[in-house]
Amino acid sequence: MVQGVDLAGSFTLSGSSRSVNRMGYGAMQLAGRDGNKLVWGPPRDVDGAIAVLREAVASGVNHIDTSDFYGPHVTNQIIRKALAPYPADLVIVTKVSCRRGDDGSWIPAMSREELTGAVRDNLCNLGLDVLDVVNLRSMFSVHQPAEGSIEAPLTVLAELRQRGLIRHIGLSNVTPAQIAEAQRIVPIVCVQNHYNLAHRADDALIADLAREGIAYVPFFPLGGFTPLQSGTLSEAASQLDATPMQVALAWLLQRSPNILVIPGTSSLTHLRENLRAATLQIPAEVLADLDAVSRQDAAVSTARHS
């Protein structure tokens, strides 16, 4: 399986010697659910969550995406229990600028005190002295990028980087203007935005980042809490003797060499299925059909609202 994950290739973070396999793992789904509160509390099966993490790393995954507001605190504590002491090549990427309300809501937390506290909590719950990568998630809109200056919060993270608590800084849920603003303050190694086969607003941005050697890490690569549904995707999966989700991940890996995928799951079966996507090569004619999916969805949406 390690060889299979390696087939997707690797990416070296800009300005560093840290290289990660492009097939990674997103840890958000390791947290539980309490009624309508998503990503909240412990999972029903903590031992199962630990097993998923250990198998992911044993299979060649060396890039794990997480945050201390998953749970909150729960996911990072499970990662520590499962994997510490950490393998030397493992890169753990976390994100800050949000806190959880008692009702499970996602509340902006971008003040100096909140950001410093979030970095401290990530260090404590992961059991680390320094964080590999910290993504500043823009919270002007919870669900999608929205314009607004990120200078103040990013300056706080840059200062924590100077103090040696953070190695590298990335961004999440951001616009091109915010990326440009950030690059005037501190080197940026990755951008994490909503992107998948059907949601392709960042096509041009991915190409721009590739030219600058910056990683693009799509969150919700499989559609998030509402899995991708497409007749074209299902037909391609049938042709390739794969699952639709494997094809969606393989499409991302073939989309651009700077894309790192971080599919998440709390199931060993789904983990193994996801990792096998690294071995899947999609022929050019099938890629062309898949590339048209977002245009088809846009046309359907326009027709529904006309």
The tokens describing 94, both together, are: 């976390």
- The separation between the first and the last C-alpha atoms of the chain, rounded to the nearest angstrom, is 49
Confidence of residue 300 (pLDDT cuts 50, 70, 90): very low
pLDDT per position as a tens digit, 28-39: 999 999 999 999
Confidence of residue 1 (pLDDT cuts 50, 70, 90): very low
Q: What total number of domains does the chain contain?
A: 1
Residue 3, pLDDT score: 57
Assigned domain for 153 exists: yes
Residue 301, pLDDT score: 38
Distances, alpha carbon 253 to alpha carbons 1, 41, 196, 256, 267, in Å:
17, 32, 11, 6, 22
Which is more confidently placed, 273 or 7?
273
99's enclosing H/E stretch is strand 98-100
Assigned domain for 304 exists: no
Residue 160 has pLDDT above 60, yes or no: yes
Assigned domain for 201 exists: yes
Residue 233, pLDDT score: 93
Q: What is the pTM of this model?
A: 0.94
Assigned domain for 237 exists: yes
Residue 302, pLDDT score: 32
Burial of 254 (0-12, 13-18, 19+ CB in 10 A): middle
Residues belonging to the chain: 306
DSSP state of 41: S
Q: What is the CATH number of the domain that holds 15?
A: 3.20.20.100
Residue 305 has pLDDT above 70, yes or no: no
User: Rounded to an integer, what distance in angstroms lies between the CA atom of residue 58 and that of residue 53?
Assistant: 9
Active-site amino acid positions: 70
Assigned domain for 305 exists: no
Q: Interior CA angle at 116 toward 112 and 120, to 5°?
A: 170
Which range of residues forms the domain containing residue 285? 2-299
Question: Cβ neighbours of residue 2 under 8 Å, at least 6 residues apart?
Answer: 58, 59, 60
Assigned domain for 306 exists: no
Confidence of residue 297 (pLDDT cuts 50, 70, 90): low
pLDDT-wise least confident of 169-173, 210-214, 223-227, 256-260: 223-227
Assigned domain for 287 exists: yes
User: Rounded to an integer, what distance in angstroms lies between the CA atom of residue 235 and that of residue 294?
Assistant: 15
Q: What is the mean pLDDT of residues 8-31?
A: 95
Assigned domain for 293 exists: yes
Residue 137, pLDDT score: 97
Q: Interior CA angle at 132 toward 130 and 133, to 5°?
A: 120
Query: Dihedrals φ, ψ of 190, to 5°?
Result: -155, 155
217 with 191: CB under 8 angstroms? Answer: yes
For residues 148, 153, 157, 159, the Cα torsion angle rounded to the nearest 10 degrees is 120
